[in-house]
Chain A
Amino acid sequence: MCLAIPGKIIELDKKKQSATVDYGSGTTRKANVSLVEVKIGDYVLVHAGFAIQVLDEKEAKETLALFKEMLSLQEEK
């Protein structure tokens, strides 16, 4: 139920209420984006037809490095 799928915004209507989201492998679908502030190119989490949060691309890319750093810090203790 709380499953949310990440996808990339590839089209946005003028009122910024509805967007076309690309989920990869050629799958696209309309989503309601009224709960978030988005622009084309943003990654969003979509749940039950609504984008519920914008994903932080920088944080996502740095996640692995951050985890490795946390583990190595603990190892040193």
Chain B
Amino acid sequence: MFSLRDKHLANDIISQIKKAEVHLKFMHVCGTHQDTLVKHGLDMLLQTSGIEIGQGPGCPVCVTTPKEIEEILVLAKEGKTITTFGDMIRVPGVTSSLQQMKAEGCDIRTVYSIEDALFFAEKHKNKEVVFMAVGFETTAPTTAAVLLRNLPLNFSVLCCHRLIPPALQAILQMGEIKIDGFIEPGHVSTIIGVKPYEFISKDYHIPQVIAGFEPIDLLMGAWMLVRQIQQGKAEVENEYIRAVKPQGNKKAQQIIRQVFEQVDVKWRGFPTIPHSGLRLRKKYASYDARKRYEEDLKDLAEEEFAEPVGCLCGDVLRGLISSKECPLFGCQCTPDNPVGPCMVSSEGNCNIQYRYSKK
């Protein structure tokens, strides 16, 4: 029902793009889009049709800052039980990684959902359980939904949620690369809908298409951007109509607003991006790990943490270079021995490039 892999249709789309004789650069901000593009060779196919398409800061694990990783490492060292999604465990920090700390005896647990972390806390009242909440608008409502419950006192959240539209604006404002169009992330858009992207098209005259994750979805997304450019338009179109409603998921939006407030935060590779992060509102402060464990974390407050030596994840996340242009790619930095987060996460550009290019 949901498989869109019609070869003839793909050929028709590519043939129409070729006819347009364009030379354009598109950016998307989603690891799952990148996986589809590289896995099916669509990035190369589009390149032969005059379209260069690359990934921006669309991997929540990758954009988590070295400082946030140090925060969770400190809490692990202080004896808290750390719960988070699998990819996060392996991201190297400045001093260690959660995986390394687990090997050294710290209590680090991979969970599939924040609910798993909560159930663990409910069952183990003698442990102080911290959930490291990473993810964009897709994941933020799952954290919000849990925070609205009667929670056990041994549970808290280290909130690292971030928002996509402010990051798109930051990329355009920084002006480091020319972008002719954005392919917007389908699952973030199931939550936020169409409207939050509109200012990008209006203020920067950039066409945008919200796209799904099948090969045809992405080819159609690229074709719809080309069509807008040919017609001189800059609008937000929705290709992923089977999943994205114009208004998004209002219930999810409402609980995000109820639980979180927007704050200025750094992203890996970026300076502070205004209003791009989520912080727990005062009402939920007792479940905010940064407040609860303020004493444990106080030494980190003023400290700045550098990227790993030689790591160009920041440039990859800003779309300035492809993963393969990083001198560490595939030699010092591999999925088994990652230097930066883009090689760790299955949504990271370097990991995806490595997985599909190494046979």
Q: Which residues of A contact B (CB under 8 A)?
A: 1-4, 6, 32, 34-36, 43, 45, 47-50, 52-53, 55-57, 59-61, 63-64, 66-68, 70-71, 74-75
Contact = CB atoms under 8 A, between A and B. Distances in A.
Nearest to B217: A63
The dominant DSSP class at the A interface is mixed
Contact of A52 (B31, B116, B190, B223): B190
Given A1-B345, A74-B227, A68 B138 contact: no
B113 A36 contact: no
A68 B32 CA distance: 24
A1 B242 contact: no
A64 B4 contact: yes
Nearest to A8: B1
B135 interface: yes
A55 B242 contact: yes
Contacts of A63: 4, 241-242
A35 B251 contact: yes
Give the 9 A-B CB pairs with smallest separation, nearest first.
A49-B113, A53-B190, A60-B242, A59-B242, A2-B138, A2-B187, A1-B60, A50-B142, A4-B187
Given A45-B190, A56-B242, A67-B9, A6 B61 contact: no
A50 B12 contact: no
A48 B242 contact: no
A38 B116 CA distance: 22
Nearest to A75: B16
A1 B85 contact: yes
B342 interface: no
